[in-house]
Amino acid sequence: MFTMETAKAEDAWIAIIEQIMNHGDIIEDERDLITKEILNVIVTVLDPVNSELPQGYLSSEKLKRYEEAFLDSENHHDGINYGKRLREHFGFKMGRDIYKVKIDQVESVINWLNNCETSRRATMTTFDPSIDQCQNEIPSLVMIDFKVRKNMLFTTGIWRSQDIYGSWISNFFGLKGLSKYISEHLGIKIGPITVHSVSAHIYKTDFDNATNKKNI
């Protein structure tokens, strides 16, 4: 387990990479891929608003796409359509007829927090056991939680599995984009963003670049 607080996301990314490369265990997964892994890495970025991309990491166009990844139902991120999962995947039936009412979890969170600022129910999920237990490509991001405290929006994202070298930065900015959207609708500032990586790992193919601190 590894926990830390940093001011900026780019500093957190470097710190996690160093921890995994120096202290991670070698793990071979079900796809026969070799990784170095640390379980339960929890990092809080205290100043997400002023966090920037590591130099040379992504173009501004890709960054914009990542920041909209959890809001856009047409945008696939890491092979999964998270926007669709959050905004129109889940639902329920009404009456005698099969009538599926799609639930927009983003708007539901905004409503919860508008109705009760101290609510502990402003939580989203992406994992659907009815289909995800039966297919190969399943969400890595499984839950996002929001709390309003001290007139700020505190955000926590939980990844069951996270490619730290290849995806942590883009995942963070996706979470930041979602937090920005919700905070603007609540009329408050973005507070700290916490990323909990249950399996924080780096693939063997990235060992050299991660060790030499080379950006993607």
DSSP 120-140: S--EEE---HHHHTT-S---S
Q: Which residue has the tokens 């659907």?
A: 128
Amino acid at 162: Q
Q: How far apart are CA 100 and CA 24, in angstroms?
A: 45
Confidence (pLDDT) at 11: 94
Confidence (pLDDT) at 28: 94
Beta bridge partners of 200: 38, 162
In the predicted model, residues of the chain with pLDDT beneath 70 are 58-60, 75-79, 93-100, 213-216
Structure confidence by residue, pLDDT tens digits, 62-81? 777 888 889 987 765 556 78
Confidence (pLDDT) at 34: 97
Confidence (pLDDT) at 100: 66
Residue 92 contacts residue 101 (beta carbons within 8 Å): yes
* DSSP secondary structure string for all residues of 154-215: EEEEEESSEEHHHHHHHHHHHHHHHHHHHHHHHT-EEEEEEEEEEEEEEEGGGHHHHHTT--
Task: Show the beta-strand stretches assigned E in 8-131.
Answer: 25-28, 34-45, 91-93, 100-102, 123-125
Q: Which residue has the tokens 């996706």?
A: 174
Confidence (pLDDT) at 182: 98
Confidence (pLDDT) at 119: 97
Residue 187 corresponds to which tokens in the numbers above? 């009329």
Q: Using CB atoms within 10 A of its CB, is residue 122 exposed (0-12), middle (13-18) or buried (19+)?
A: buried
Q: Which of 210, 202, 200 is nearest to 40 (CA)?
A: 200
Confidence (pLDDT) at 213: 66
Q: How far apart are CA 159 and CA 1, in angstroms?
A: 14
Confidence (pLDDT) at 59: 66
Structure confidence by residue, pLDDT tens digits, 94-128? 666 555 678 899 999 999 999 999 999 999 999 98
Residue 197 contacts residue 159 (beta carbons within 8 Å): yes
Confidence (pLDDT) at 52: 86
